[in-house]
Amino acid sequence: MTKTPHTRNLGTTGPQVSALGLGCMGMSALYGDADRAESIATVHAALEAGVTLLDTGDFYAMGHNEMLLGEALRTAPAALREQALVSVKFGALRDPEGNWSGYDGRPAAVKNFAAYSLQRLGVDHIDVYRIARLDPDVPIEETVGAIAELIEKGYVRHVGLSEVGAETIRRAAATAPVSDLQIEYSLISRGIERDILPTTRELGIGITAYGVLSRGLISGHFTRDRQLAANDFRAHSPRFQGDNLQHNLNLVDALREIAERKGATVAQTAIAWVLSRGEDIVPLIGARTRERLTESLGALDVTLDAADLAAIEKAVPADAAAGDRYPSAQMAHLDSER
């Protein structure tokens, strides 16, 4: 495939993918109710628009998201289906009520999770496979080693990582080639710039950036009076609470002024900023509808020059956000935050 301005590589050892990927989690879980038919139509529209990287997790609504994505792939035109690359996170443990109960990175568990994911997705291989969070009881070398064995047998193509810190990245990369690290990165979540991003660049590992709109907070569509459903995890997210929300939406207002001068939307400007951080970064857009997908893809046509970037930096400086990106209990599970 000839490389175009709208493709990027997942690190030096990973595949070539679209410059924007589609994160599918919200089509099944954590952001309130979703429309299944519209979700599948959105996946199809993304594939038609040239989006090749589709991201899911086996624990998103306990397998629902993988089955939904499997249906979307099965019903897509063959040519588009063949271009799709699927990235899967595994390892998060849940009970029938949906509660979280830890992570399992044991080699036997890795292979068990993969077997179920292959079946739910209806594919013969997973393109990028990664544990969602580091299992503190299992050395990363064992978890990555198990993925490497799946690669040898043809069930997986590439090793990925998720939300791990620089030391863990180095240990994983010493065990097997790593294509990319999936981690939150946005205008208001810039922690990776200190140690993690320099490490991935040193090792030739790409970044798939999720939360580029901070779960809709900096999309330009979230309002101060919006009521969140009980099954929307943002109702418990620190950045969406009280004074934090007010402070963060003031940052969005400042960003909106810059976006309007560019003739772009707030969301497009925020996504374009992440795209501008380097060719080794592939933002994941969490669009749940074709309308939001179209808007997000418009970021590919937004060029930010030095003056634009300086204005954005002034409007939304690093560490400007109020509140952590997860509640404290979840922050404790993040190796990337240690």
Q: How far apart are CA 158 and CA 147, in angstroms?
A: 8
pLDDT in the model for residue 220 = 85
> Are 284 and 55 spatial neighbours (Cβ–Cβ below 8 Å)?
yes
CATH of domain 7-337: 3.20.20.100
Residue with tokens 């934090």: 244
How much is the pTM?
0.94
pLDDT in the model for residue 212 = 96
Which residues does the annotation mark as catalytic?
A: 60
Q: How far apart are CA 259 and CA 198, in angstroms?
A: 29
pLDDT in the model for residue 323 = 82
Please give the chain's pLDDT, 338 residues, in tens.
Answer: 233 449 999 999 999 999 999 999 999 977 677 899 999 999 999 999 999 999 999 999 999 999 999 999 999 999 999 999 999 999 999 999 888 899 999 999 999 999 999 999 999 999 999 999 999 999 999 999 999 999 999 999 999 999 999 999 999 999 999 999 999 999 999 999 999 999 999 999 999 999 999 988 888 888 777 877 777 768 778 888 889 888 989 999 999 999 999 999 999 999 999 999 999 999 999 999 999 999 999 999 999 999 999 999 999 999 898 888 887 878 777 899 88
pLDDT in the model for residue 236 = 78
Report CA-CA distances (Å) from 267 to 5, 218, 258, 312, 324.
20, 7, 12, 13, 21
Name the DSSP class of 12. Answer: T
Q: How far apart are CA 157 and CA 139, in angstroms?
A: 22
Q: How far apart are CA 143 and CA 138, in angstroms?
A: 7
Q: In this structure, what token pair is assigned to residue 138? A: 């299992």
CB contact set of 216 (below 8 Å; sequence gap of 6+):
31, 222, 234
